[in-house]
Amino acid sequence: MLKIIIPTAMLMPMMWLSKPNMIWINSTTYSLLISLVSLSYLNQPGDNSLNSSLLFFSDSLSAPLLVLTTWLLPLMLMASQSHLSKEILARKKLYITMLILLQLLLIMTFTATELIMFYILFEATLIPTLIIITRWGNQTERLNAGLYFLFYTLVGSLPLLVALLYIQNTMGTLNFLIIQYWAKPISTTWSNIFLWLACMMAFMVKMPLYGLHLWLPKAHVEAPIAGSMVLAAVLLKLGGYGMMRITILLNPTTSQMAYPFMMLSLWGMIMTSSICLRQTDLKSLIAYSSVSHMALVIVAVLIQTPWSYMGATALMIAHGLTSSMLFCLANSNYERVHSRTMILARGLQTILPLMAAWWLLASLANLALPPTINLVGELFVVVASFSWSNMTIILMGTNIIITALYSLYMLITTQRGKYTHHIKNINPSFTRENTLMTLHLLPLLLLSLNPKIVLGPIY
Amino acid sequence: MKPFIFIIIMTTVISGTIIVMTTSHWLMVWVGFEMNLLAIIPILMKKYNPRAMEAATKYFLTQATASMILMMGIIINLLHSGQWTVSKDLNPMASIMMTTALAMKLGLAPFHFWVPEVTQGISMSSGLILLTWQKIAPLSILYQISSTINPSLLLTMSIMSVMIGGWGGLNQTQLRKIMAYSSIAHMGWMTAIMMYNPTMMILNLTIYIIMTLTTFMLFMYNSTTTTLSLSQTWNKTPLITSLILVLMMSLGGLPPLSGFTPKWMIIQELTKNEMIMMPTLLAMTALLNLYFYMRLTYSTALTMFPSNNSMKMKWRFECTKKMTFLPPLIVMSTMMLPLTPMLSILD
């Protein structure tokens, strides 16, 4: 694992010492090289994990997330070049440093064995994200957004610290490699119910669960493009990954405690999708669609069947790539019109036809068109929840319809129809933007040829 | 203050604390406290204005009362055990009186009312000595009697301190008052662990002293006393703004900075002793502290407050203040979390 961690840490000095016109090129190229190295971790043995040391390991659940994280850094760097072009050199380097630091902490989080180390790094990812959102966001609301983001996550995760230390005292160790074999069923007493709540609430806030999702639209909308990309693609998946790891310790209380959270997720899925239909702000629409997709992942993790775990993992990877791509597309609009209102830049298909092709493909991926892995994930989750309870099919079906509705609404509003007269003189699409979209879309399409990489440890 | 007189006074302050820490005779403990108190009064009054005199008077009155209550506890212990030795078997009545007296000296709730007002009235460097050095002596006595302290008394005081330190600091813009409420909250954390593992109290004290020392030095570097003047730091020394950002997060106890180490260790020791609700309550209330530290960083580092053009030139000037030992202090206040396994040497 050090062969990924040390190069990522060394990206920082390399970028600080580069010539001013080479900082973007150097950091993007070398981070692409690091993501190439991380691909070797996808070669997982079927039923076990690749253990690098006592501190780091990767199994079929964390390897796709690791590859997604390392893949995303060059994409974030490519996307940020335009809005940082007017800053002074030291601030550009500081921004890139924040991105690289976040990447480093995320790599270590996804590969940590010891659960306390996972906790420390999970909290540590908050600091660079907070700095990116609050320092480099564009509107005044970013201050509030940063505070909501920090405090929602911290209030959820402090009980997790106490719970983890309590589990360490009773089990003797918190090393994941050991406790997956040592975990004993826990009885359903009141104190174990509180233990369950303490363990899960941190990840519920991070996912986010419907009642606790207030930080997400604020943070996604106010963050600059790299912040939005990393938030949507990776930081939300930290919650899903954590939940899947920690539920091993919490049997069989989960089957009883899951009911309120299942209800909140199932209802929240439909609520947030419906809100998307009434949004005027493009980034806000994509943010609420993230909440909706993550609610599916929560449902899947709480049901705890083999199909649902496969679906949850596939959905996390698929949603990461799709959501990040949608944010990049929204950003390409924002850079031209300097407004996030959807109807201000409409009818773009006649002016930027290639970008319209990317919009079409991204919207189709978002509404889970076959044969993308979005469909694989959603289908597995819908079928698993149908077997858990027959009535959920109504809510899931309604959600799929409304997802299709708002994805097409977004596509039609921005691309189709007659363009407005004030956008006739926008810049044409840059090669950098087209590359960005291709690099998001290619993994998504290629994974539909071999989805078993992203189907997780149960496959 | 003339250097010669300053040396005599500081020697008395330091030797007073060292007498308290090292003696085995209870009367000498009281003598050490009184030496410390009398010698620090001129230090508190370095700036000769009515506000400083009011602060010094309030400090003197509370500390003298606390010393007298401590003396009462010592006499009760003498009455019941017949000897003056500082030892672990203390009479329960004497223990309660001494705990109350030492809580008054530390500024634990409900005896915390003097801390913000005294800290606000004195200069930054005197406030630094007040909030760091003056805590060492009472905590060393609490360390020595820790096995006989009444748990409900101490835990009540510590939980109240953390809460009051959190809520009290929310409405403050004066930096010295913010640091005073921060001190009250940290004292609460330190006394919470006193009965179970006093070694963690020393760890918390060490890291707290390093972080508070660094914070005060950064504030003195800019000669700021209010949040508003701190917000102009980006004009004077842009590097200090990032350092204040990281330092405030460390004071608030965010991983992966070293301010997280004492909180983590304290929560670990408390959960080992079957206390679950209390560390959760302490941790959640510490988030209030984090809120007003983040407010400081918002105005300093994360936004750029408007300033006039002559202020924007100030970064070109060299700083003439002597900031001894600041770089190692900054490294120690922010990057020491990976050294946590070294705590085994404290056993």
d(CA B197, CA A366): 54
Within 8 A of A137 by CB-CB distance, chain B residues are none
DSSP type of residue A429: P
Q: Which of A204, A183, A176, A170 is nearest to A294 (CA)?
A: A204
Q: Look up residue B299 and give its two tokens.
A: 């105005």
B272 to A169: CB separation less than 8 angstroms, yes or no: yes
pLDDT at res. B323:
84
Q: Which among A124, A147, A158 has the least Cβ separation from residue B256?
A: A124
Phi/psi of residue A187, each to 5°? -80, 165
Average pLDDT in the B52-67 region?
Answer: 96
H or E segment and range at residue B49 = none
Q: Which among A154, A158, A162 has the least Cβ separation from residue B276?
A: A162
Residue A54 touches partner B, C-beta closer than 8 Å: no
d(CA A175, CA A49): 14
**The dihedral sign for the CA sequence B113, B118, B124, B126:** negative
Give the SS3 label for residue A1. Answer: coil
**Torsion-angle region of residue A368: left (phi > 0), alpha (psi -120 to 50) or beta?**
left
Q: Which of B329, B202, B317, B174 is nearest to B265 (CA)?
A: B202
Q: Look up residue B200 and give its two tokens.
A: 């963690």
pLDDT at res. A255:
87
Q: What is the distance of C-alpha A35 from the center of its chain?
A: 17
B260 to A120: CB separation less than 8 angstroms, yes or no: yes
CA dihedral angle for residue B228, residue B230, residue B236, residue B242, rounded to 10 degrees: -130
pLDDT at res. A54:
85
d(CA A380, CA A399): 15
Residue pLDDT, tens place only, B170-194: 999 999 999 999 999 999 999 999 9
A127 to B337: CB separation less than 8 angstroms, yes or no: no
**Partner residues linked to A51 by β-bridges:** A57
Neighbouring residues of A305: CB distance < 8 A, sequence distance ≥ 6: A384, A387, A388
A161 to B264: CB separation less than 8 angstroms, yes or no: yes
Average pLDDT in the B60-80 region?
Answer: 95
Residue pLDDT, tens place only, A398-450: 999 999 999 999 999 999 988 888 888 889 999 999 999 999 999 999 999 99
Q: What is the distance of C-alpha A12 from the center of its chain?
A: 24
- What are the C-alpha distances in Å from A153 to residues A58, B261, B335? 25, 19, 23
Residue A127 touches partner B, C-beta closer than 8 Å: yes
**Residue B347 binned pLDDT confidence (cut-offs 50, 70, 90):** low
- How many beta-carbon pairs below 8 A join chains A and B? 68
Give the SS3 label for residue A44. Answer: coil
Neighbouring residues of A456: CB distance < 8 A, sequence distance ≥ 6: A60, A61, A64, A309, A310, A312, A313, A314
A134 to B298: CB separation less than 8 angstroms, yes or no: yes
**Torsion-angle region of residue A456: left (phi > 0), alpha (psi -120 to 50) or beta?**
left
B267 to A119: CB separation less than 8 angstroms, yes or no: no
DSSP type of residue A53: S
Instruction: Say how many residues make up chain A.
Output: 459
Q: Is the pLDDT of residue B264 over 90?
A: yes
Whether A160 contacts A199, CB under 8 Å? yes
Residue pLDDT, tens place only, B226-236: 998 899 989 88
Q: Where are the domains of chain B?
A: 3-345
pLDDT at res. B89:
83
Neighbouring residues of A451: CB distance < 8 A, sequence distance ≥ 6: A314, A373, A376
Residue A112 touches partner B, C-beta closer than 8 Å: no
Q: Is the pTM of this model over 0.90?
A: yes
pLDDT at res. A197:
94
**The dihedral sign for the CA sequence B38, B43, B48, B52:** negative
Task: Find the chain B residues whose C-beta atoms sit closer than 8 A to any C-beta of A.
Answer: 245, 249, 254-256, 260, 264, 267-268, 271-272, 276, 279-280, 283-284, 287, 290-291, 294, 298, 301-303, 337
Whether A401 contacts A350, CB under 8 Å? no
Q: Which residue of B has its CA nearest to A122?
A: B255
B276 to A120: CB separation less than 8 angstroms, yes or no: no
Q: Minimal Cα–Cα distance from A161 to chain B, Å?
A: 8
Count of Cβ atoms closer than 10 Å to residue A410 Cβ:
25
Residue pLDDT, tens place only, B132-144: 999 999 999 999 9
d(CA B13, CA B36): 5
Residue pLDDT, tens place only, B19-46: 999 999 999 999 999 999 999 999 999 8
Q: Which residue of A has its CA nearest to B340?
A: A117
How far the first Cα of chain B sits from its last, in Å, is 43
pLDDT at res. A424:
84
Candidate from A220-234, A391-405, B117-131, B316-330 with smallest mean pLDDT? B316-330
Count of Cβ atoms closer than 10 Å to residue B80 Cβ:
13
Mutate which of A116, A157, A158 to test chain B, going by most B C-beta atoms within 10 A? A158
How far the first Cα of chain A sits from its last, in Å, is 24
Give the SS3 label for residue A58. Answer: strand
Query: Which amino acid would we find at residue A430?
Result: F
pLDDT at res. B278:
93
d(CA A410, CA B194): 60
B283 to A162: CB separation less than 8 angstroms, yes or no: yes
Give the SS3 label for residue B85. Answer: strand
Instruction: Transcribe B166-220 into DSSP letters.
Output: HHHGGG--BHHHHHHHHHHHHHHHHHHTTTT-HHHHHHHHHHHHHHHHHHHHHHH
pLDDT at res. B61:
96
Give the SS3 label for residue A281. Answer: strand
**Partner residues linked to B174 by β-bridges:** B226
Count of Cβ atoms closer than 10 Å to residue A347 Cβ:
17
- What are the C-alpha distances in Å from B38 to residues B18, B116, B172? 15, 20, 30
H or E segment and range at residue B156 = helix B151-168
Q: Which residues of chain A have pLDDT under 70?
A: none
Average pLDDT in the B63-69 region?
Answer: 96
Phi/psi of residue A46, each to 5°? -60, -45
Phi/psi of residue A50, each to 5°? -90, 110
Residue A170 touches partner B, C-beta closer than 8 Å: no
A150 to B294: CB separation less than 8 angstroms, yes or no: yes
B271 to A154: CB separation less than 8 angstroms, yes or no: no
